[in-house]
A and B are shown apart, each in its own frame.
Chain A
């Protein structure tokens, strides 16, 4: 058994979970929407790439250039229309609406692309890796995903800490009405937060599609992992989300090392343990980036 390998692969997997979770965390922390369609939107992002790439032979890395911005735009529109309206009714309504969106996206994809699973062509990147020693190989692709996750979270926390819009986003998360009476256009600001969340979920969907096969129903499992990462890390804290993703990845990978049937279960157990003993997560409260 190679424990070092399990730890390294777990951390690499954790990068993907963190990327998934950061949009969920942002949308809940700022907008107040628990997006039950989060995983399905990630899968939708991957299918949008399938649809828009000129052929299946095209390197899917190109999709990184246009799918996240497209989703950002889509997220802004969705927030300003459907999500905003449901928020004005009640928080429970947003749960129902996003659950409905989840059903619509899954079945729409099923109708359009059938239940067959798809995967991306990423050229030689899919197999290339470097050898640390005889038992430890690191895939460039998975390492890239982890680095992208760290880069996205760094840029995002810098943006929230320094920029005018970022400060307004945090102000709205603290007290929406007080932001309004300070002259902040809260609807626009919440839309921008949703745009960022949707751009990151598209990025996560693409990263997922490059490392695994995806099908219309893949979203539900992804949503669960994203939730677990957010709860383990502490709701509203970006760096906590990274930590949560890494811990979840480690738990799954080490569980898998003990017994291949134990992988996903070990992740769930760690999640339940955190919920039971430290319900505020590992980084409690909103660490203001």
Chain B
């Protein structure tokens, strides 16, 4: 008997109208590990993550959370079961203050060690600016609030969509620096990243998507640069 994976995706297919954005993708993520999805723009990474979170309805396949099939469960109820997405573009509530944004994250909070105070300890600048509208924050600050809003729900599986997009390298380093702290709490992380080197540096397992299909799957240490490059750009002879 192997341990039940924290998240398992089986042959998931999702469409945008006629376009098949995700085509039979499957993977399994053990609890407490980091899984990275890489790929070029339009490879289907974000659609895949949104489908896992329940915001996009799949046409085939299933999503299992700690062994339970959640494919038919609504997105807000998945939050209550421990599956929380930090969306692409951060998607804060611009007219709400920093503190109010975090309060919204409490809607289906599961018991656990994360709460608003702990998030404010993690990002000390938020304490002084808790009453500032989130729309006035810089991109990096907004990303921190978006992560904080997800953390207060005490997710067991955290989905991070392009958290480095549009941020200065030093800010990206700081945000990725948080990952070890999350993993020690037993959290499982699935991240989508365009920056391949960033993803490879933190991931235990990586999968590369091209036009909605898995073209490369493996452990970062065992993959070579040219292999990944070929898969990423869809060059002949890539992966499998």
Contact = CB atoms under 8 A, between A and B. Distances in A.
Residue of A170, A177, A180, A183 ringed by the most chain B CB atoms within 10 A: A183
B93 A183 contact: no
A155 B85 CA distance: 34
A174 B85 contact: no
Interface string A234-259: 00000000000000000000000000
Contacts of A173: 95
Interface string B39-81: 0000000000000010100000000000000000011100110
A171 B104 contact: yes
B183 interface: no
A174 B96 contact: yes
B213 interface: no
A126 to B, nearest CB: 42
Contacts of B91: 175, 177-178, 181
B191 interface: no
Nearest to B79: A183
B200 to A, nearest CB: 27
Contacts of A181: 53, 55, 75-76, 79, 84-85, 87, 91
Interface string A146-167: 0000000000000000001001
Interface string B121-155: 00000000000010000000000000001100100
Residue of B76, B80, B92 ringed by the most chain A CB atoms within 10 A: B76
B75 A180 contact: yes
Nearest to B99: A167
Given A170-B93, A186-B76, A178 B87 contact: yes
Residue of A170, A178, A181, A186 ringed by the most chain B CB atoms within 10 A: A181
Contact of B104 (A184, A285, A286, A288): A184
Interface in A118-173: 164, 167-168, 170-171, 173
Contact of B133 (A167, A177, A288): A288
A58 interface: no
Contact of B93 (A171, A180, A185, A285): A171
Contacts of A167: 96, 100, 103-104
A183 B53 CA distance: 11
A182 interface: yes
A156 to B, nearest CB: 16
Nearest to A184: B107
Given A167-B100, A177-B55, A288-B133, A184 B95 contact: no
Nearest to A288: B95
A175 B109 CA distance: 20
Interface in B169-223: none
B10 interface: no
A199 B182 CA distance: 45
A141 B87 CA distance: 52
B8 to A, nearest CB: 20
Contacts of B100: 167, 170-171
Contact of B103 (A164, A174, A288): A164
Contacts of A185: 76, 107
A184 B93 contact: no
Interface string B1-13: 0000000000000
A265 to B, nearest CB: 36
B112 interface: no
B166 interface: no
Residue of A167, A175, A182, A285 ringed by the most chain B CB atoms within 10 A: A182
A179 interface: yes
Given A170-B95, A171-B96, A182-B150, 18 more contacts: A164-B103, A167-B100, A167-B103, A171-B93, A171-B100, A171-B101, A174-B94, A178-B92, A178-B93, A181-B79, A181-B91, A183-B79, A183-B108, A183-B153, A184-B76, A184-B107, A185-B76, A285-B95
Rank and list the top 4 A-B pairs by shortest CB-CB distance, nearest first: A183-B79, A183-B108, A174-B93, A178-B91
